[in-house]
Amino acid sequence: MASWLSTHAPKRFDELAIALSIREQFIRASLAGNPPHLLITGPAGVGKTAAWRLVARQVLGPGWKATCHVLQARDLARQAGAMKTFEEFLRPAGLQSSDTLASRTSLDAFDRNMWSGDVGEAPCGEEIPMEFGRAPVSRLIVIEDADHLGFRRQPYLRRMMESESHTTRFIFTARAPSRIIDALRSRMQHIRIPAIESDEIVATVRKVASLENITLAEGMAEDLAHIADGNLRKALFTTELLARRNMTGERNRLYEVVSESTLQHARRMIELALRGRVIEWRWEKQQGRNIKTLEGAMGQLDEMMGAHALDAEDIVHQIHMELVGSRLMLAPELRNEMLDALADCDVSLRRTIHSRIQIEHFLHLVSAAGRRHGLNMS
């Protein structure tokens, strides 16, 4: 069953829960005769992915999915052979080939009437007319979480953007634009989406609940907006979780459900770290290919930051609740060591934009503490 995040994703720019001035920037970029490369930034859950998908649909036409290529840079940061994976994505014909993804022109872009069936309305209300004598943009390369690319890979993209992207455009999304090199940022139009206003979150939650025939308890939409703290994805995810448990009519159960769903991951993450299982890998088959996926404590961290849309501060809070609770049976000395490490982590989070690094460091400190107390032999 598809999640509400996908089934109720915006199909038009005016459905994005962002300020009108920002929507207009996306519309102008999408309708431009020579569309710019885009850098879309903002905190978690504000609609960066929804926005670039609308841009892709408008620029490429009804068959946009066939020539829109997406790379998740966050995955590169935590897998072996990341540079090879990155180069194979950009050079699908082989690393020694001069043919690149950016240099390929798709014929689909020259005949947008070839698509039949229900392709849906264009996000701006109408398709872009073909202009005689001009080769249309026929391919988009999207780098999600581009602030995780690292400084070694970014010059590679800059050269490709300059010399080979005649009918191709790049779209980057990022939370921390300062981690994108100036040479790339200067070649892109930067559109920043701020945290979503509470009123917009309340309206969107109520709209989706109505479409799903769900009745929300009085004040629950406002409570969801408060918990989400500007993160619309988190608000919708939590609403769907409540609906699946038939709890949307019980306002007093909201905080209980939110804590319960994430505390289990926090507890499991701590237990794995104490046993020295901070980073583990597992091979699994996805779409006919063997993919290396992250497990262990880091895998639990991914689940909390991704599926549950928790920020680093939320995760610190969940870890603290576990450490001072009664479910984890820990020696007093070990518990105190972990609380000290967590306090240092909390202070560090207020001084950096690289929040995940601080939590990963905390997990390694927990692993070292577990080793000293005889809980792991790694």
Sorted by where each begins, the domain ranges of the chain are: 4-192, 198-249, 260-372
β 289-295/280-286 pair status: antiparallel
Fold classification of 260-372 is Zinc Finger, Delta Prime; domain 3 (1.20.272)
Most confidently modeled range among 60-69, 72-81, 110-119, 266-275: 266-275
Please list the residues that pair with 40 across neighbouring strands: 173, 191
pLDDT average, residue stretch 369-374? 91
CA dist 375 and 2 (Å) reads 40
From 85-94, 242-251, 313-322, the region with the lowest mean pLDDT: 85-94
Q: Is the pLDDT of residue 133 over 50?
A: no
Quick one: pLDDT at residue 164?
73
Which residues, in sequence order, are bridge partners of residue 189?
Answer: 38
Question: Is the Cα dihedral 214, 218, 220, 225 positive or negative?
Answer: positive
Which ranges constitute the DSSP H helices of the chain?
A: 4-7, 20-31, 48-60, 73-76, 82-90, 154-163, 182-185, 198-211, 220-228, 232-244, 254-274, 296-305, 312-324, 332-349, 355-372
Q: Which two tokens stand for residue 287?
A: 């779409």
Assigned token pair, 374: 């005889």
Please indicate whether residue 27 or residue 291 has the higher confidence score (pLDDT). 27
Q: Could you report the per-residue pLDDT of 168-197, keeping only the tens digit for each?
A: 899 999 988 888 999 999 999 999 999 999
**What pLDDT, on the 0 to 100 scale, is given for residue 80?**
59
**Given this model, what pLDDT does residue 109 score?**
54
| C-alpha span between 268 and 104 (Å, rounded) | 46
pLDDT band at 78 (very low <50, low <70, confident <90, very high): low
Mean pLDDT rounded to a whole number for the chain: 84
The residue length of the chain stands at 378
Residues 6 or more apart in contact with residue 68 via CB below 8 angstroms: 56, 60, 139, 140, 142
As a whole number, mean pLDDT of residues 264-275 equals 90
User: Nearest Cα to 40, choosing from 193, 155, 180, 162?
Assistant: 193
Mean of pLDDT values over 40-45: 91
- What confidence tier does 284 reach under pLDDT thresholds 50, 70, 90? confident
3-state DSSP call for residue 349?
helix
Do residues 108 and 67 make contact, with C-beta atoms less than 8 angstroms apart?
A: yes
Domain at 4-192, CATH homologous superfamily:
P-loop containing nucleotide triphosphate hydrolases (3.40.50.300)
Q: Give the pairing type, strands 188-192 and 280-286.
A: unpaired
Q: What is the pTM of this model?
A: 0.73
Q: Which two tokens stand for residue 149?
A: 């690319």
User: Binning pLDDT at 50, 70 and 90, where does residue 74 land?
Assistant: confident
Q: Please give the pLDDT value at position 21.
A: 95
Determine the average pLDDT of the residues in 275-279: 91
pLDDT in tens, 9-32: 999 999 999 999 999 999 999 998
pLDDT average, residue stretch 271-287: 84
Q: Choose between 130 and 226: higher pLDDT.
A: 226
Q: State phi, psi for 293 to the nearest 5 degrees.
A: -115, 150
Confidence of residue 90 (pLDDT cuts 50, 70, 90): confident
Distance (Å, rounded) from C-alpha 186 to C-alpha 350?
29
198 to 134, 215, 225: CA distances (angstroms):
44, 20, 6
